[in-house]
Amino acid sequence: MADIFQEAGLPLWLRPYEVLVTSSYTALIETIPDTASLHSIKSRFPSITSLRDFFVAKYQENSPSFKIAQRNFVESMAGYSILCYLLQVKDRHNGNLLMDEEGHIIHIDFGFMLSNSPGSVNFESAPFKLTRELLEVMDSDAEGVPSEFFDYFKVLCIQGFLTCRKHAERIILLVEMLLDSGFPCFKGGPRTIQNLRKRFHLSLTEEVLTVVSDGLKQQCVSLVLSLISSSLDAWRTRQYDYYQRVLNGIW
């Protein structure tokens, strides 16, 4: 997906990292330098009660560096939101979300995706994580009040989805090749691939696309906006964060 965004000239930002497999159960995972999890940031600075407070303290509100960090945040949020929706990445608590020095969000730990979830219960039913504190960095709130950066986020999500949709078969093939690997994320069997394909909404043929491309694009825009609306400070997402806070002390 990072390659797809780059090929299309889109500013959606992802941080791929290398994994060197050493056995069926072990691997060496590349370190991502100059980052800290959202949980560790809050633990390190007790006076900071929200991610917005951290941005204000680190980048100085209304300064050029603050605006650059916000833009970096939005571009990475959009990239990972589309990735998390299409691949159904779960276990998105604040210990699995990193922040780099430039303000980018980076997701790690992809042990739950496609068809498996923590505790075998799909508690994180929202398309992707879009909690109040993430929205506040975009000058929005839990209600999704319009702002320059939140509107930019919406535009990027739409562009990212339309672009990934053009390369759906390329993505689906990579996933399908691993269907018989025995990985836990394929516990759903062939339905895992079927559901992945459904999330791309590929109901129209190429012939139809050339005739009604504008209408199709409008349908995709409506779809992505509905995904964002469904994710806005979703109750089940907040409850999963609360569960992690109580059980594992992850803030």
Give the pLDDT score at 43: 86
Count of all residues that appear for the chain in the document: 251
Contact call for residues 36 and 43 (beta carbons, < 8 A): no
Q: Once rounded to an integer, what is the mean pLDDT over residues 7-35? A: 92
Contact call for residues 138 and 147 (beta carbons, < 8 A): yes
Identify which has the larger pLDDT, 195 or 118: 195
- Within its chain, how far is the Cα of 153 from the centroid? 12
Tell me what percent of the residues of the chain surpass a pLDDT of 70: 88
Give the pLDDT score at 251: 59
Q: Once rounded to an integer, what is the mean pLDDT over residues 114-121? A: 82
Report the C-alpha gap between 145 and 51 in whole angstroms: 18
**Is 131 a member of any domain?**
yes
Tokens 């997701």 map to which residue?
107
Q: Give the contacts of 202 (CB within 8 A, at least 6 positions apart).
A: 165, 168
Q: Going edge to edge, which strands form the sheet with 105-107? A: 35-37, 97-100, 105-107
Q: What's the mean pLDDT when you consider all of the chain?
A: 87
Q: Once rounded to an integer, what is the mean pLDDT over residues 9-19? A: 95
**Is 100 a member of any domain?**
yes
Report the C-alpha gap between 179 and 57 in whole angstroms: 46
Domain range spanning residue 64? 36-248
Write down the pTM of the prediction. 0.89
**Is 128 a member of any domain?**
yes
Q: Once rounded to an integer, what is the mean pLDDT over residues 190-198? A: 94
**Is 47 a member of any domain?**
yes
Residue 213 has pLDDT above 60, yes or no: no
**Is 5 a member of any domain?**
no
Residue 197 has pLDDT above 60, yes or no: yes
Q: What is the pLDDT of residues 140-159, one digit of tens each?
A: 998 889 999 999 999 999 99
The count of domains in the chain is 1
Q: Once rounded to an integer, what is the mean pLDDT over residues 108-122? A: 85
**Is 86 a member of any domain?**
yes
CATH code for the domain in which residue 80 is found: 1.10.1070.11
Q: Read off the pLDDT band of 216 (50, 70, 90).
A: low
